[in-house]
Amino acid sequence: MTDPDDNLPYHVEPEGDRFKVVDGEGKVMIATSIAANAEQYAALMNQSYRRGFKAGYRRKGAAPKK
């Protein structure tokens, strides 16, 4: 499950009978009718974010270092 205090870019937004995983820019990454699936996907995306981009492996808008 996602931690709202982490200020991470991916979160779940309910919309009617669907659940959307949305990034920090408001782009929908995936939509599903099962809340647990959306929460799991958001958690995996945030884990990847913490381990990669946020940890400094890549700079936003820059190519990977060689």
pLDDT digits (tens, 9 = 90+) for 30-62: 999 999 999 999 999 999 988 887 666 655 565
Instruction: Kindly state whether residue 18 falls inside one of the protein's structural domains.
Output: yes
Instruction: Kindly state whether residue 59 falls inside one of the protein's structural domains.
Output: no
Cite the DSSP H helix spans in 1-66: 35-51
Instruction: Kindly state whether residue 34 falls inside one of the protein's structural domains.
Output: yes
Q: Count up the domains in the chain and report the number.
A: 1
**Whether residue 16 has pLDDT greater than 80:** yes
63: CB partners within 8 A, 6+ apart: none
Instruction: Kindly state whether residue 63 falls inside one of the protein's structural domains.
Output: no
Q: d(Cα 41, Cα 49) in Å, to the nearest integer?
A: 12
Instruction: Kindly state whether residue 56 falls inside one of the protein's structural domains.
Output: no
Instruction: Kindly state whether residue 64 falls inside one of the protein's structural domains.
Output: no
Take residue 31 and report the two structure tokens written for it.
Answer: 């939509």
What percent of the chain has pLDDT above 70? Answer: 70
Instruction: Kindly state whether residue 28 falls inside one of the protein's structural domains.
Output: yes
Which structural domain range is residue 33 located in? 4-51
